[in-house]
Structure 1
Amino acid sequence: MATTHALWGLVLALPVLAVYPESAPVAFAAGFVGGLAPDLDLYTGHRKTLHYPVYASIVTAPALVLALFAPSTWTVALAVGLAAASLHAVADVFGGGLELRPWHGTSDRAVYSHYHDRWLSPRRVIRYDGAPEDLLLGGLAAVALVAVGNEAVTGVALALVAVSTVYVLLRKRLAGIAEFLVGLLPDPLLPYVPARYRGT
C-alpha cells in the first residue's frame, strides 16, 4: 500500500531525530514524500516510470555519505527522501504482481528494472497490496513512530494506519468497483485508463 511505503519512509527519518533533531521535521517530510513519490506513476506506466530499484539505490549511497560528512537540513532531507524512494521500489519486488486482482497471482511483473531493462518478478512475500500482512508491516512501522516520534509524526502515523485498515477491509471489492466505473467511461477516454482496469 502507498500508506505502508509512507510509514516506512517516516521510519527512515527516526535516526535523524536521534542525532540531528533540528533537521528532523524536514527529514520526516522527505521520508513521507520519498515513500509516496514513486506511486505518482500509478496511471502512467505504474512501477516503471518512477520506480528505480537499482538506480535509486545507487544514487542513495552517496547521498547518505554526504549527509553523514556534511550534515545540513538539505543534505539530510535529500538522503532520507532518496532512501525512502529506493526502499519503495525495492520493496515492491517483494509484493504481488501488477494486476487488478493481484491475489490471483497471474502477473509476472512486480517492478521494472531500468538497469536490467526488464520486469522483475513478484516475490509475493506480501501477497498483494492491501493484504493483511501489508497492514501488519505498516503497523510495525507505526509502532516505531509512535514510540519515538513527536506528536505530529504520531498523528500522521495513526492516520495512515486508519486509512490502511479501511483499504484492507475494502481491497477486494475495490477491484470490481474500478471495473464498473471504467465501464461507464465513454470510449474516447478508455485509451487513457491503465490496461489492468480495462481487463487487458
Structure 2
Amino acid sequence: MMATTHALVGLAVAALVSLVVPEFGVAVAAAGLAGGVFPDLDLYAGHRRTLHFPVYYGAAAAVAAVVAVVSPTAWTVAAAVFLAAAALHAGSDALGGGLELEPWEGTSERAVYSHFHGRWLPPRRLVRYDGAPEDLAIAAVFGVPAALAFGPNVQQVAAAALVVSAGYVVVRKRLPAVATWLFAQVPSSVRRHVPERFAP
C-alpha cells in the first residue's frame, strides 16, 4: 500500500485514542502519521525488511499501551500510537502485492519480512499493488473520518495526503518505465547502489 495510506491508517488509530485522551490530540495525531510512515524509511535499504517488524512492533505497542494506561502523558500515549501505527503498516503490507517493480504482474512471493518467523511472508494481494484504486479507497475510508476528529491543521495534512495519493494512482503504472529509463542514465559506478528491484 501507499505510504500515504499507511499514514492515514495511523491517523485513524490516533483518532480513536484521542476520544479517550483529547488533551493529547496533536501529539497522537503526529505520532499516528509518523508511525504509519516510519517503516517505509527502508525503501532504498532492504525494503519491507530493514524497518518492517510485523510481530515485534505489535508486541512493543502492547507494552507501550500498558505504560500509557498506567502513566498517561503526551509522550507515553504518543509512543503507543506510533508503535501501533507502525505495527499496522508492517502487518498490512502482507495484504498487498509483492516487492517487484510491477507488482500487478504478481511475480514476487515476498510481501514483508517477519523477523520473528525468520522468513518472508507471501503477498495476499487483497490490495493488488501500491497505488491501485482500492489502495486510494482505503486511504479515503480511514483518512476522512480520522481527520474530522482533529482540527484544521491535521485536516489539511490528511487532505494533502489524499491529493498526493490520487496523483500517485494516476501515474503508478507508468513509473516502472520511468525508473528503467533513469537507471539507464546513471553511471555504472552508481548503479551498484541502486536496489536490485529498481534495476531492469
Specify if TM > 0.5: yes
Task: Give the CA deviation at 1:11.
Answer: 0.9
Unaligned runs of 5+ in 2: none
Does the CA-based 8 Å contact 2:18-2:24 persist in structure 1? yes
Residue 14 (str. 1) matches residue 28 (str. 2): no
Q: What's the counterpart of residue 76 of structure 2?
A: 75
- Of 98-107 and 147-156, the range deviating more from structure 2: 147-156
Residue 87 (str. 1) matches residue 109 (str. 2): no
Does the CA-based 8 Å contact 1:14-1:149 persist in structure 2? yes
Count of aligned pairs between the two proteins? 199
Structure 1 CA distance, aligned partners of 2:21 and 2:55? Answer: 28
Structure 2 CA distance, aligned partners of 1:198 and 1:4? Answer: 26
Structure 2 CA distance, aligned partners of 1:196 and 1:50? Answer: 17
Which amino acid is 2:184 matched to? G
Identity of aligned residues (%): 53
Flag as ranges the 4+ runs of structure 1 deviating above 6 A. none
Q: What's the counterpart of residue 101 of structure 2?
A: 100
Q: Cα deviations across residues 56-110 of structure 1 (Å, max 9, x unaligned)?
A: 1111111111112211111101000000111100010000000100000000000
Task: Give the CA deviation at 1:149.
Answer: 2.3
- Structure-2 change in CA distance of 1:146 and 1:75 (3 Å): closer
Structure 1 CA distance, aligned partners of 2:36 and 2:143? Answer: 14
Q: What's the counterpart of residue 182 of structure 1?
A: 183
Task: Give the CA deviation at 1:116.
Answer: 0.9
Residue 193 (str. 1) matches residue 172 (str. 2): no
Does the CA-based 8 Å contact 1:145-1:153 persist in structure 2? no
Q: TM-score, normalised by structure 1?
A: 0.97
Q: What's the counterpart of residue 64 of structure 2?
A: 63
Q: Cα deviations across residues 117-163 of structure 1 (Å, max 9, x unaligned)?
A: 11000000000000000000001012212432221111111110000
Which amino acid is 2:69 matched to? L
Q: What's the counterpart of residue 120 of structure 1?
A: 121
Structure 1 CA distance, aligned partners of 2:131 and 2:76? Answer: 33
Q: What's the counterpart of residue 172 of structure 1?
A: 173
Task: Give the CA deviation at 1:30.
Answer: 0.8
Unaligned runs of 5+ in 1: none
- Of 82-91 and 10-19, the range deviating more from structure 2: 10-19
Does the CA-based 8 Å contact 2:96-2:124 persist in structure 1? yes
Structure 2 CA distance, aligned partners of 1:51 and 1:118? Answer: 12
- Of 147-156 and 133-142, the range deviating more from structure 2: 147-156
Task: Give the CA deviation at 1:20.
Answer: 1.2
| Helix, strand or coil at the partner of 1:13 | helix
